[in-house]
Amino acid sequence: MGFSDLLKGGISSKSEDDYRDVTDADVSASNTGSGPQIKSAEVSSQNDVVPVKDAIYEGNIVIIDLAGLSPGSRRWERIEDELVQLTEEVGGDIALNNDTQCIIAPAGIGIDRDGI
């Protein structure tokens, strides 16, 4: 099963004007709880998958930037297989957004593919 098979619904495209930069001053330090965190990672090689695995095993959600990979390439397929296997090992969920961004959630946290 590939990434494309994992994403069942379409996601609307947004322009850069739809987002606002948030600086550290805008975020309260009290927002760091002891529960799962949302982490981000860039993955362009097999070595980049190791910290993603660690974060998922710790129960965190990881948003992965895959822009450094060519969809359908051999490297893409190896990394795809490794991420799907990781997700299955932890009983989590995985979804691809626009061939450039992947989201992996640990067990107990599902990814809503219907959007809001």
pTM, two decimal places: 0.70
Cβ-based neighbours of 12, under 8 Å, separated by 6 or more: 115
Question: Is pLDDT at 9 greater than 60 in this prediction?
Answer: no
Helix (H, G, I), strand (E, B) or coil at 45: coil
Q: What amino acid is encoded at 87 in this protein?
A: T
Q: What is the mean pLDDT of residues 81-105?
A: 92
7-21 mean pLDDT: 56
pLDDT above 70 covers a percentage of the chain that reads 72
Q: Tell me, what's the pLDDT at 90?
A: 94
More confident residue, 20 or 15: 20
Choice between 17 and 103, residue whose per-residue pLDDT is larger: 103
Mean pLDDT score across all residues of the chain: 82
Rg over CA atoms, the chain: 15
Options 3.30.110.150, 1.20.1260.10, 3.40.50.720, 3.40.630.10; CATH of 37-110:
3.30.110.150
| Tens digit of each residue's pLDDT (9 = 90 or more) over 27-67 | 555 556 678 899 999 999 989 999 999 999 999 999 999 99
Q: Is 11 exposed, middle or buried (0-12, 13-18, 19+ CB in 10 A)?
A: middle
Pure H helices in 7-111: 49-57, 74-90
Q: Percentage of the chain with pLDDT > 90?
A: 53
